[in-house]
């Protein structure tokens, strides 16, 4: 990841409005900050959330709270608990997220 055109700044997440993104089931709420070529988000998945698409964008994903299930299109599944992360490059493994009990994430892409 090469972050460009992003001068130093702090982010007060409580001052950023949440946007709602329905999944195949459940809902995701995003607080998003875009700076230069980087997008940084706090994402909250409701219990029972399942993404409505396969994503091919690269990310760094860190689980702040709860538990995240990441499924790759090739059938592999990874369960991440609070304090765990994953990294995936653009186009390197279509993936989608789900959670049984809910999760809060920090995502950089």
pLDDT tens digits, one per residue of 50-107: 999 999 999 999 999 999 999 999 999 999 999 999 999 998 889 999 999 999 999 9
Instruction: Return the HEC string of the chain.
Output: CCCCCCCCCCCCHHHCCCEEEECCECEEEEEEEEECCEEEEEEEECCCCECCCCECCCEEEEEEEEEEEEEECCCCEEEEECCCEEEECCCCCCEEEECCCCEEEEEEC
Structural domains present in the chain: 40-108 (2.60.120.10)
pLDDT at 46: 98
pLDDT at 3: 86
pLDDT at 33: 97
Rounded Cα distance between 40 and 60, Å, is 10
Is the pLDDT score of 1 beyond 90? no
User: How big is the CA angle at 89 (ends 47 and 65), to the nearest 5 degrees?
Assistant: 25
């Amino acid at each position: 990841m090469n972050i460009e055109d992003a001068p130093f700044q702090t982010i007060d997440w409580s001052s950023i409005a949440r946007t709602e993104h329905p999944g195949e089931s459940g809902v995701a709420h995003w607080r998003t900050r875009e700076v230069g070529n980087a997008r940084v988000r706090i994402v909250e998945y409701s219990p029972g959330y399942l993404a409505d698409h396969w994503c091919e964008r690269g990310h760094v994903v860190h689980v702040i709270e709860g538990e995240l299930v990441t499924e790759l299109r090739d059938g592999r599944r990874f369960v991440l608990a609070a304090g765990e992360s994953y990294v995936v490059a653009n186009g390197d493994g279509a993936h989608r997220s789900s959670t049984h009990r809910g999760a809060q994430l920090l995502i950089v892409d």
